[in-house]
Chain A
Amino acid sequence: MRKFIYRALRITGALDHWLRERLTPAGWLALGMAGAAAAAGLDTTQTVTYRAFTFLAVLLALCYAVSLFFRARLDLRRDLPRYATAGEPCVYRVTVANHGARTLEGASLLERFRDPRPGFEEWRRTREPGEEHRNWWDRTVGYFRWRWLIERRVPRDAGAGELGPLAPGERQELRLSFTPRRRGRIELAGLTVRRPDPLGLVRGLAQLPLAARLIALPRRYRLPEVALPGRRKYQPGGVSLAASVGDSEEFLALRDYRPGDPLQRVHWKSYARTGKPVVKEYQDEFFERHALVLDTGTQRGEDGAFEDAVALAASFVYTIDTHECLLDLLFVGPGASDGHSERDAPQPGVRAYTAGRGQMQSEHMLEVLAAISPSEPAAFSELARAVVARRESLSSVILILLAWDGQRHELLSALQATGADVRTLLVCPESDAPRGGAPGIAHLIPGNIERGLAGLR
């Protein structure tokens, strides 16, 4: 049964796409009127609207047949930015050159995205945010889930660019734009050149392949001036080790071996020369280090609260100046899953990325956030352990939580006990917020984050 529903959705989706691609507004009117005329003229003895139906049906069929003769020999180049931002228009340039023998007139250019229809397994397993509130019929048929899965992959407002008359050998530039609905990868399949038939009912299409991809970064909020405490902390191993990679390079001196020194620090040349173990001593490093802890544990999927939490994290990554400090981003993955290739997704576990002082750049961290997806709520304890383990090196912690419970309360208490400055932002609907509020926690309501942020100091 589910297979049948899935097939029906797939076929309907394809038909809908075909009609949208082919029909002009006048074509839609003709199709609608043909349908209405057919319905009113079912009994040909009762009304004469069946005459309008046959005329309009033949007209559409003829125009479709004519539209099939449309050909366009074009060379296209698309100058696409590397990143776009969810909810913001992404404008880019397309250069079109006519290699045909005739002038191309009255044509338009439209971006074509990769087939966004989900596979059967994905459609069956995924749950649309808030699906539990839908009625039995909607849940069974899964139409809204289907639409949601498609919409999250296809940007909105992908308007067609009108091409002026293009003589053979001529080149023309035009601007196209679309607005990503959400963060994540956007895959472009190519461009479609369209030209309506002489009556303007059905479009002739020439589909030119030009695959590309870009990443839509999470949307960002304007944060108020947040003064993070400037207490510098000892970073064992220096900048490099702070990021858990490589050795420190700030060499200070040589000294005698003391039990407990790591073997890597033995200076073998001096050992050979003096006959006793000598080790290298490095400059101790002190600098600010902030942790941005993003709680991804939710069973509601990528709903408004989750997306707002990610957007909030992105806002901090974007705002905090990482020239003079380090910023750790910690969250529980399944990690980089874009919904297309679940097989390639890493195993669940705590992910930690560090930006600043020669480590990752903030754009890369935004890229990580673009691909983030929800994790099991039970995995929060793992995240809490990871944060507590590095508490000694942290100047401040920004906690972005999706819920408020005992585990989260314990983490907050543990961090506060170390003397670190902790900012806690709880992103959840008003109904899920702790009664009477919790001290030291800023409660932000999904969909109304900016208002909540305005009160943040």
Chain B
Amino acid sequence: MNTPPFLMGAALVFWGWQSGNLAVGALLGLTLEGLRALRLRVDLGVQEHSTIADLSTVGFVLLAVLLAANRGIGAGILQAFVWQPVALSPIIAAQLVSADRRLPLSALFRYMRKLRLRRPDIKDPRVDVSAVYVSLALLAAGVANQRGPEYYVAVVAGTGLLLYAARPRGASMAAAALLLGSAALIGHVAHVGLAQAQTALFDWVLDLNMRVVDADPYRTRTELGSLGRLKKYDAIVLRVYADEQAAGRVRLLHRGSYNTYLSGTWVARGAGMENLESEADNETWVLDATGEKSAPSLHVRMATRMEGGRALLALPAGTTRIASLPATQLRRNSLGSVSAQLPVDWASYEAQAGPGIALYAPPAAEDLAVPIEERAVLERVVAELGLRGLAPAARLRRIGQYLGGFAYATYRENPVPAGETALGDFLTRTRAGHCEYFATAATLLARAAGVPARYATGFAAIEYSALEGAYVVRTRHAHAWTRAWVDGRWLDLDTTPASWGEEEARDAPFWQSLADLARFAGFRWSQRGEFKASDGWYAVLALLAAYLGWSVLRGRRVLREQKAAAAQRRRYPGEDSEFYAVEKSLPERGASETHAAWLNRIEFSLQNTTQIHEALRLHQRYRFDPAGLSRNDRNRLRELCRGFSAST
């Protein structure tokens, strides 16, 4: 397919505009259009085209590898795709200056070249790849992700021009325009719909699977009353580098607290997120200035997975400072949730905690509220346990003992009976459930007994990995517990049977250890520094490219356009034989005279008759033997002819 004049240049300028490299795009476009306008041609063969294509491909792959190493595989490959028009420009430049403005198909496919060595009968058509190049430039412009309408307009216009250049014989222009216009219109509606559908799908998937990972500090919906097995995932979302002494304090890592229960959902009412200013080093964040006065009793380094550059940080109770976290933004609420923004896959930070949980908001009316629909059941249990007559700490202990008699279960077979709540059913009938049941029940029982309490969520660091030398926290280690106000401070109360971790670990797939190895490798890879090349390296690269270009083009004949086209038409095997030059230097051969007869005729005037006869034999084999000449014979022919030319 041919491209109309200036389309290639326009596509490259558009690419430059969209990718923020307008100068590069304009320069490249001008160069290629200039080469197209140029009447000079370079005599490039299959070998030269192949070398240029191979070098361009290698350069492109190297660029992709470098970008993937620096920016992550997905982002790196996309970024390399943006630079594709530049990386592949030598191929199209070689096509534009070659004699027939085409290149052999085998130059683009190494496999085809290998196949042709075995089977020379395979055809190697000469193709024009300019339309492919224009399409790739337009595609690369789209990868740059400028969200304006200009991209779609450019794609429609570019396609229209390409198709106009290759329009079929006798096709109706009106029908073609109608088709193109309809496609542009329907395509526009389709792409808007597609984007909306994908956004909805992503939201749904996130809501379904990643809710635990990317938690909401304002609300958390529980699975109370849900039928079937609770979904569990093994992906590692947090790594905690704590020693044995600190293990007890990092067992529960808090992410969010909620004060209001609304039929299955816990909400953080009156606890808006506020921005936090960092210290001067931009890496230290003080959560509690009063706690700063005494030295922190716990230092623990952690690494958390970021989802779309955001994460609700998991922190041990009583965290007063977060250090070594170069976040672009840190926000927190009065219930102890801290969210960070950092455009990386894994963010590591150090949590420093004081002896107690002092900074969280003191109890309010919400922390004692019991929902009306649960009140009857809770009152009955409170009365059964005789909680009202006990001291607050003793009330919590009694609640713990009471729930300790319940069983841990992630599977629920029967629906909640009509007229009952999931929590009531848990307390009076099933007496089995997962952590959300236990945490909700303990929180509401404490409240019914007059102890202010909140529902807390986060992770439990219960799996130590010898491979990583750290506690690894998986998605299935997401946990819920109660935070109760006793004697003027908040205490964490975990009433879920301690066996829950072991029970869940039993469900781990048999390939988990192998998968963990890959996860560890991926994590270590994400922690590497960015590769940066100095100017010196770029200079070396430029010199290398210049040398390669020179070595490819060295000695190639430069022809005028008409001569080049004529030369192209005259291609036949052995046309580059040096014998022709020898022939020209000798008395003329008759029109119908064979070479042998001609040599016999002029033999008397020659000195090296044996050599010229040998050269003729080799020349004729070079011209007509299907097997061609061996390397040695080819060199011998060259040598004989040069020797002969020199002697005459």
CB within 8 Å of B: which residues of A? 24-26, 29-30, 33, 36-37, 40-41, 43-59, 62-63, 66, 105-106, 165, 195-201, 448, 450-451
> How far in angstroms is the closest Cβ of chain A from B149?
9
**A36 & B139 in contact (Cβ 8 Å cutoff):** yes
The chain A residue sitting closest to B146, CB to CB, is: A48
- 28 A-B pairs within 8 Å (CB atoms) are namely A24-B168, A26-B162, A26-B163, A29-B1, A29-B162, A30-B159, A41-B142, A44-B199, A45-B199, A46-B145, A48-B146, A48-B151, A50-B191, A51-B151, A51-B191, A52-B142, A52-B151, A55-B188, A58-B186, A106-B170, A165-B170, A196-B171, A198-B167, A198-B176, A199-B171, A199-B180, A200-B168, A200-B171
Q: Does B135 contact A (CB under 8 A)?
A: yes
A62 touches B142 (CB 8 A): no
Q: Return B347 CB to nearest CB of chain A, in Å.
A: 21
In the complex, A369 Cα to B305 Cα: how many Å? 72
- Residues on the B chain within 8 Å of A25, using CB: 1, 166
Point out the residues of chain B lying under 8 angstroms from A196, CB to CB. 168, 171
- Determine which of A49, A53, A198 lies in contact with B171 in the assembled complex, contact meaning CB atoms within 8 Å: A198
CA distance A57 to B132 in the complex (A): 17
**Docked-complex contact B190 and A54, CB < 8 angstroms:** yes
Beyond the given A47-B144, A50-B194, please list 15 additional residue pairs across the A-B interface where CB-CB is below 8 A: A40-B78, A45-B198, A47-B145, A51-B142, A51-B151, A51-B152, A52-B139, A56-B159, A57-B190, A58-B186, A62-B186, A66-B179, A106-B170, A198-B168, A200-B163
User: Considering residues A105, A165, A198, which has the most beta carbons from chain B within 10 angstroms of its beta carbon?
Assistant: A198
Please give, as numbers and ranges, the residues of chain B lying within 8 Å of A197 by CB-CB distance. 171, 179
Residues of A with C-beta under 8 A to B159: 30, 55-56, 59
In the complex, residue of chain B having the shortest beta-carbon distance to the beta carbon of A26: B166
Q: Tell me, in angstroms, the Cα distance from A55 to B191 when the chains sit together.
A: 8
- Measured between beta carbons, the chain A residues less than 8 angstroms from B166 are 25-26, 200
Query: Within the complex, what minimum Cβ distance (angstroms) separates B83 from chain A?
Result: 13
Instruction: Tell me, in angstroms, the Cα distance from A197 to B172 when the chains sit together.
Output: 9
Give complex CA distance A44, B192 in Å: 10
Smallest CB gap from A25: residue in B: B1
Whether A40 pairs with B143 at a CB distance below 8 angstroms is yes
Query: Does the CB pair A54–B191 fall under 8 Å?
Result: yes
A55 near B155: Cβ-Cβ < 8 Å: yes
Q: How far is the CA of A93 from the CA of B503 in the complex (A)?
A: 80
A66 to B163 Cα, complex, angstroms: 16
Interface flags for B163-193 (1: CB within 8 Å of A; 0: not) read 1001111111101100110111011101100
Residues of B contacting A24 in the complex (Cβ-Cβ under 8 angstroms): 168
Residues of A close to B1: CB separation below 8 A? 25-26, 29
Give the complex CA separation of A45 and B162 in angstroms: 28
Residues in A whose Cβ lies below 8 Å from that of B145: 46-48
B binding-site residues for A, Cβ under 8 Å: 1, 78, 81, 131-132, 135-136, 138-139, 142-147, 151-152, 155-156, 159, 162-163, 166-173, 175-176, 179-180, 182-184, 186-188, 190-191, 194-195, 198-199, 626-627
- SS class, residues of chain B in contact with chain A: helix
Identify which of A55, A59, A201 gathers the most chain B CB atoms within 10 Å of its CB. A55
Interface class of chain A by DSSP: helix
Q: How far is the CA of A450 from the CA of B188 in the complex (A)?
A: 63
Residues of B with C-beta under 8 A to A43: 198
A448 to B182, CA, bound (A): 58
- Rounded to whole angstroms, the CA-CA distance of A29 and B151 in the bound complex is 19
Contacts of A30 in B (CB 8 A): 159
**A322 CA / B146 CA spacing, docked (Å):** 80
B172 cross-chain contacts in A, Cβ below 8 A: 198
Residues of B within 8 A of A46 (CB): 78, 145
Q: Could you tell me the distance between the alpha carbons of A196 and B166 in the complex, rounded to whole angstroms?
A: 11
Docked Cα-Cα span, A324 to B344, in Å, equals: 91
Contacting residues, chain A, for B139 (C-beta < 8 A): 33, 36-37, 40, 49, 52
Contact B187 A106 (CB under 8 A): no
3 nearest A-B residue pairs (beta carbon): A55-B187, A49-B142, A105-B170
* Neighbouring B residues of A47 by C-beta, 8 Å: 78, 142-145
Cross-chain contact A63 with B151 (CB below 8 angstroms): no
Contact B169 A199 (CB under 8 A): no
Whether the pair B194, A58 counts as a contact (CB closer than 8 A) is no
Q: How far is the CB of A172 from chain B (nearest CB, A)?
A: 15
How many angstroms from the CA of A291 to the CA of B144 in the assembled complex?
Answer: 75
Q: Which residues of A contact B136 (CB under 8 A)?
A: 36
- Given A29-B135, A59-B187, A201-B163 in contact, is the A44-B151 Cβ separation under 8 Å? no
Cα–Cα, bound, A24→B176 (Å): 15
Nearest Cβ on chain B to A31's Cβ, whole angstroms: 11
Report B-chain residues with C-beta under 8 Å of the C-beta of A59: 159, 179-180, 183, 187
Cα distance, A26 to B166, chains bound together (Å): 8
Q: Which residues of B contact A55 (CB under 8 A)?
A: 152, 155-156, 159, 183-184, 187-188, 191
